[in-house]
Amino acid sequence: MTDLTGMKIGMLIEDEYEILEAWYPKLRLEEAGATVVVIGSGQKDSYGSKEHYPMPADVAVGDVNAAELDGIIVPGGWAPDHMRQHPQMIQLVRDVHAAEKLVASICHGGWILASADVLRNGRRVTAYGPIKDDLVNAGGNFVDEEVAVDGHVVSSRTPADLVPFMKAIIAQLANQK
């Protein structure tokens, strides 16, 4: 197993997140030794999944910056639609991307990559199929694959793709270490 001890990964969270797409990456990265910092908008201390399962935020987005992180993950569900209403969340993803650190999204999380201008110039990306047009219009090269890796950007489609998604994330982080 890859040892990610000493690495600090941010995970954006908002209400209506997809439970598996947040909890599985968080637990898998912690199992590998990384510290996962759950980053909320700052409007509350805990956010509910689509099934109302809570995920406490460790910090508000205004209290963290890209220099502190080795990467960032954006889970899906309807949470990214809420995240897009918080410019600091978009800016944090933009800053992590500019530093060429891991930027990962799954499902509707691709909306944040589009808003943060991560996809410009044909970056390979995948996501939940219905947001394909949004990603293409943001400059991405959409592929219907379980995981797409383009440099430091890793994306995936749905909870069914979580195992290859996390393998790609862990490989990317190991290369950054």
A 10 A CB-CB count for 122 gives 11
A 10 A CB-CB count for 135 gives 24
CA atoms within 13 A on the CB side of 70: 18
Query: How far apart (Å, rounded) are the C-alpha atoms in residues 13 and 66?
Result: 16
List 82, 86, 97, 108, catalytic entry: 108
The residue behind tokens 């944090």 is: 92
Quick one: which of 36, 20, 40 has its CA closest to 71? 36
Over 14-83, what HEC string results? Answer: CCCECHHHHHHHHHHHHHCCCEEEEEECCCCCEEEECCCCEEECCEEHHHCCHHHCCEEEECCECHHHHH
Residue 108 among the catalytic residues? yes
A 10 A CB-CB count for 27 gives 12
Q: Which residues are designated catalytic?
A: 108
